[in-house]
Amino acid sequence: MKPTATKTAEANPAALDRILTAEEELLPSSGFLASVMERVQEEAAAPPPIPFPWKRAIPGILVAAAVLGGGAVELIRHVLSGASEISLAPPQLPAVVARPLPSVGWVALALGASLLSWMLSHRLAGRSGLL
Amino acid sequence: MSPNSTSATEDLADVERVLAGDAAAFAGIVRRWQSPLINMAWRYCRDRGRAEELAQEALLRAWRGLAQWRRESSFSTWLFALAANVFRSELKRFPTVNLPLEAAPEPSGPASQHHALAEKSSQDVVRRAVLALPLRYREPVILFYFHEMDLAAAARTMRLPEGTLKARLSRARALLRRRFPHLEDEQEALGFSIATPERRPNIEAHRN
């Protein structure tokens, strides 16, 4: 990081090493320290972030989970009962109705993807101090 | 006590004071590390104003995350790794405008390089060409030379195994030599001249 005597790349071995190592050192501007400390003091004076109200949210989350779970069970039941009827149905029915099981797979996949994205966003928000 | 151990002791003492609620103690950390961080950021963006912004952001993240420093590694290792993360993510969000590697002009020939200005300019072209490398190769080059060719320190900062870093560095240097063939004859055939302690000026010696 020290400024070094510049020599031509052509005249010396390991020119790339020398060029990339020999950089002039930048000095911080006069207000840099004060600027950083001002922001630090602002953050130190700010009230701590409000934690997520888990106690209040948990009943709602449980109800939502129960509704979603119930809905998923009903959906699977509906699809399965539909599948038994469809086995007797004429072959020109739409493919989605005639082959319900792959649809269940897709629904499960979508639910799984939603859950994963929720977990990921929660984790990221937690890391960045938003929660 | 060596300057390094003095600094480490001071860092530890300041961290303890900050964690105990004395925000003003962070000034000691800023004072010691502002210059290395600005110079590191400069190598990532080659823009003086942006380098200070990035360094400031890194210091603020360090302030917020001081409790996460586990003391398993030195404070400087933790700080540089954190700063590298900040610089990488900030420059992804708001990239600096760089020429593609192919568009970087070849430095002028020896005949015109008698003048110091022309020589400095041609060296700047090579330095700026580093920023045109793919990120995967760019960062190893930046950190290897920032740490004055200390492969282990660069690997710690990137949190990569040394072998991986060495491979990426090798590829990056090959790309640069392909772009600037006049450098090729002068390179030691892909051998990394890892700096010895006496050859490598200590980063901490450059602190304010």
The pLDDT, as a whole number, for residue A97 is 59
Q: Does B48 score more than 60 pLDDT? A: yes
pLDDT at residue B195 in the model:
39
| Residue contact B38–A26, C-beta within 8 A | yes
Residues B48 and B107 in one domain: no
Domain ranges of chain A: 9-45, 54-127
Beta strands in chain B (DSSP E): none
Cβ separation of B110 and A33 shorter than 8 Å? no
Residue B187 predicted with pLDDT over 80: no
Task: Establish if B63 belongs to a structural domain.
Answer: yes
B68 with B135, same domain: the answer is no
**A25 Cβ under 8 Å from any chain B Cβ:** yes
Same domain for B92 and B107, yes or no, is no
Averaged pLDDT, A36-40 = 95
Instruction: Name the residue in chain B with its Cα closest to that of A45.
Output: B23
Same domain (yes/no): B11, B52? yes
| Contact A23/B at CB under 8 A | yes
Tell me the average pLDDT across B136-158. 92
Tell me the CA end-to-end span of chain B in Å, nearest whole number.
19
What is the end-to-end Cα distance of chain A in Å, rounded?
Answer: 40
CB B55 within 8 A of CB B83: yes
Interface test with A, best of B108, B123, B176 (most A CBs within 10 A): B123
**Which is higher by pLDDT, B58 or A1?**
B58
**B111 within some domain:** yes
Q: Residue A40: which of B23, B176, B206 has the nearest Cβ? A: B23
Within the 84-103 window of chain B, which residues sit less than 8 Å (CB to CB) from chain A? none
Do residues B71 and B115 share a domain?
A: no
Residue at B118 is within a domain: yes
**ipTM of the complex, rounded to two decimals:** 0.72
B180 compared with B90, residue with greater pLDDT: B90
B153/B43 Cα distance (integer angstroms): 16
pLDDT at B117 (0 to 100): 66
Whether residue B104 lies inside any domain: the answer is: yes
A74-101, pLDDT tens digit by residue? 899 888 887 776 655 555 656 655 566 6
- The boundaries of the domain holding residue B149 are 100-203
Asked if the C-beta of A124 comes within 8 angstroms of chain B's C-beta atoms, the answer is no
CATH number at residue B28: 1.10.1740.10
* Same domain, residue pair B129 and B145: yes
B122 lies within 8 A of chain A by CB: yes
Task: Supply the pLDDT for residue A65.
Answer: 94
Q: Classify residue B208: in a domain, yes or no.
A: no
In a domain, B176, yes or no: yes
Contact A12 B186 (CB under 8 A): yes
Looking at residue B35, its pLDDT comes to: 95
Domain closes at, from B76, B97, B118? B97
The answer on B153 and B119 residing in a single domain is: yes
The half-sphere exposure of B89 on its side-chain side, counting CA atoms within 13 A, is 9
**A39-43 long-range contacts, Cβ below 8 Å, gap at least 24?**
A39/B56, A39/B60, A40/B23, A40/B26, A40/B60, A40/B63, A41/B23, A41/B24, A43/B60, A43/B63, A43/B64
CA distance B29 to chain A (A): 10
pLDDT at B196 over 50: no
The model's confidence at residue B109, banded by pLDDT at 50, 70 and 90, is low
Look at residue B203 and tell me whether its pLDDT is greater than 60.
no
Of B80, B97, B114, the position where a domain reaches its end is B97
Yes or no, beta carbons of A33 and B34 under 8 Å apart? yes
Domain membership of residue B23 (yes or no) is yes
Rounded percentage of chain A residues whose pLDDT exceeds 70: 72
Residue B189 confidence (pLDDT) above 50: no
Residue B85 and residue B43 in one domain: yes
Among B97, B120, B155, the domain-final residue is: B97
A38 contact B CB<8A: no
Q: What is the pLDDT of residues A51-78, one digit of tens each?
A: 888 988 999 999 999 999 999 998 998 8
Do the Cβ atoms of A26 and B24 come within 8 Å? no
Burial environment of residue A81 by CB neighbours within 10 A (0 to 12, 13 to 18, 19 or more): exposed
Are A27 and B173 in contact (CB < 8 Å)? no
Neighbours of A69 (CB within 10 A): 11
Band of pLDDT at residue A7, cut at 50, 70 and 90? very low
pLDDT reported for residue B202 = 43
Count of domains forming chain B: 2
CA distance A58 to chain B (A): 29
Rg (CA), chain A: 31
State residue B126's pLDDT score. 82
User: Are B86 and B104 part of one and the same domain?
Assistant: no
Residue B44 has a pLDDT of 92
